[in-house]
């Protein structure tokens, strides 16, 4: 086995300082463990609805940092494959990633990205800059292009709190296309099949001076609108007590809102929609 000795133990490569990229190390010694390893024969195309897909995820900056949220539904064609999928994950202390697209590949990519950032910091002695983290994720997505062309696309959404930004730290949002194109977004963004409706809601609700609670309510209203018009997006499930995942990143680091807080805000959103089904209006 490549990288191992005849007894099956790790070889010298595992104990010799080398590249600060764990992805490059894995590609050299255990390439089949990469999520970009071809899951289907070259030239084949995956039929629609054969693998679970996740939507919808969104992010917005607010007064103290940046918020990232996602619904919990995964679908296979017209079927609900999972109702409580976790689409929002911390990448390190001041960075988080959410995903839309093929669930299995996305989860593997998120785990690899988490290790990538930790490995870099251990080898170099300093964490990556936020811009470098965004570029490194773009390179990983680009390596998945062959699978994306076969119907197994992964489209992440990256957010972070930039401690080194000129004029003081602030939240930043990065989006990607299936070929690894990197785009920084101002104020808010959404990905997934419900993203047009979520972005439309955020366009009328967003203000730069939102508090954490106001930002969380705006995110939940946007996800409610997405679920209202997109069958692949799941809204708050009061009966099963399944609610969107909402997390924030500030100068103090990553924090996932407690389940009790997310439930309370979700129930408030549903109550507001009972009186105004089309949602809150834009502030004057």
Q: What is the pLDDT along the chain (284 residues), one digit of tens a residue?
A: 445 545 555 555 555 555 667 666 556 556 665 665 555 566 556 556 678 888 899 999 999 999 999 999 999 988 999 999 999 999 999 999 999 998 988 998 999 999 999 988 888 888 899 999 999 999 989 888 877 777 778 899 999 999 988 877 799 999 999 889 999 999 999 999 999 999 999 999 999 999 999 999 999 999 999 999 999 999 999 999 999 999 999 999 999 999 999 999 999 999 999 989 888 887 76
pLDDT at 111: 92
Alpha-carbon span 254 to 276, nearest angstrom: 33
pLDDT at 1: 44
Q: How far is CA 26 from CA 14, 35, 52, in A?
A: 10, 11, 26
Q: Please tell me the total number of residues recorded for the chain in this structure.
A: 284
Please say whether the dihedral angle defined by the alpha carbons of residues 184, 188, 190 and 196, taken in this order, is positive or negative. negative
Q: Which helix (H) or strand (E) holds 124?
A: helix 103-124
Q: For the chain, how are helix, strand and coil distributed in percent, rounded to 5?
A: 35, 25, 40
DSSP 186: S
Alpha-carbon span 23 to 109, nearest angstrom: 10
Backbone φ, ψ for residue 228 (5° rounding):
-70, -30
pLDDT at 167: 76
pLDDT at 32: 60
CB 68 within 8 A of CB 58: yes
- Point out the residues that are catalytic: 55
CB 178 within 8 A of CB 100: no
pLDDT at 11: 56
Burial class of residue 91 in the structure, from the number of CB atoms within 10 Å of its CB (0-12 exposed, 13-18 middle, 19+ buried): buried
CB 172 within 8 A of CB 261: no
* Strands annotated E in 163-282: 170-176, 182-185, 188-191, 245-250, 253-256
């Amino acid at each position: 086995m490549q990288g191992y000795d005849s007894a099956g133990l790790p070889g010298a490569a595992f104990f010799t300082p080398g590249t600060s990229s764990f992805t490059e190390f894995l590609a050299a010694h255990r390439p089949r463990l990469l999520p970009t390893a071809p899951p289907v024969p070259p030239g084949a195309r995956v039929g629609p609805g054969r693998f679970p897909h996740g939507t919808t995820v969104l992010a917005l900056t607010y007064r103290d940092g940046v918020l990232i949220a996602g619904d919990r539904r995964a679908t296979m064609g017209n079927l609900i494959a999972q109702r409580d999928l976790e689409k929002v994950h911390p990448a390190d202390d001041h960075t988080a990633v959410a995903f839309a697209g093929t669930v299995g590949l996305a989860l593997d990519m998120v785990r690899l990205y988490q290790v990538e950032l930790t490995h870099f910091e251990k080898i170099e002695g300093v964490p990556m800059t936020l811009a470098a983290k965004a570029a490194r994720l773009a390179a990983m997505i680009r390596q998945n292009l062959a699978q994306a062309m076969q119907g197994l696309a992964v489209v992440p959404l990256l957010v972070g709190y930039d401690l080194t930004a000129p004029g003081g730290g602030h939240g930043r949002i990065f989006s990607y296309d299936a070929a690894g194109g990197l785009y920084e977004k101002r104020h808010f963004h959404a990905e997934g099949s419900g993203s047009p409706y979520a972005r439309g809601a955020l366009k009328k609700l967003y203000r730069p001076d939102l508090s954490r609670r106001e930002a969380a309510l705006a995110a939940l209203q946007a996800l409610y609108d997405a679920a209202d018009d997109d069958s692949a997006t799941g809204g708050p499930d009061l009966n099963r007590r399944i609610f969107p995942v909402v997390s924030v990143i500030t100068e103090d680091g990553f924090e996932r809102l407690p389940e009790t807080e997310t439930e309370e805000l979700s129930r408030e959103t549903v109550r507001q929609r009972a009186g105004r089904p089309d949602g809150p209006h834009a502030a004057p």
